[in-house]
Amino acid sequence: MSYSDLQLAWMLLDGEIEERQGRRRTKYLDEAVELEARAAIARLLRSEGPLDRQLRDSLARLFDPNPPAWEQRKIRIEGRRPGELTDHIRNTQIAYYIWDEVERGKRVTAAVESAAEKFALSADRVWQIWSGYRPLLEWIRAMAGKAG
C-alpha cells in the first residue's frame, strides 16, 4: 500500500488504528516503514507549502516539556554516533588560527604547537583538526580566487 508523506507522518507520530476481531488498538510503525516516515516528515518540513495542523500539533506534543497526560510518546535528541559531539565551531576557529599563523610566516609545526597551547588541547588533537580542515580551507581559498 502506498501512503502520502502526510499519512506516513501521522502514522509515525500518532500511530494508526488497527482492528482485529472487533477490537481496536494503536499500532506504531515497524522500523523499516519508520525510516520512510521520518524521511516523509523531513520533506514536509522542508517544503514551501503550509504544514498540516494535525502534524504541527503532534510534533508540538513531542517537544512539549509539559505534554497532556494522555501523550505516551516523547522525542529525544541525541548524537548520531557514540561519544562526544564534534565541536565544528571550535575546530574551525583552530584551523583558521593555524592558517593565519602560517600566512604570517610561521611554520605549520610551530602554528600547531601555538594552537595547542592557546586552545588547551594536545598537539596530536590539533594536528588531527588541522589535517581534516586544511583541505577545506584550501578549497575555500581556491574558490575565492576564482570568484575574484
pLDDT in tens, 39-50: 999 999 999 999
- Note down the domain range covering 44: 5-63
The answer to whether residues 22 and 57 belong to one domain is yes
* Span 109-118, average pLDDT: 97
Whole-prediction pTM:
0.66
The count of domains in the chain is 2
* Contact by Cβ (8 Å): 112, 130: yes
User: What three-state secondary structure class fits 85?
Assistant: coil
The answer to whether residues 9 and 52 belong to one domain is yes
Gap between the Cα atoms of 33 and 11, Å rounded: 10
User: What three-state secondary structure class fits 3?
Assistant: coil
User: Of 17, 46, 63, at which residue does a domain stop?
Assistant: 63
Q: How many beta carbons lie within 10 A of that of residue 115, not counting itself?
A: 23
Residue 106 Cα to chain centre, angstroms: 36
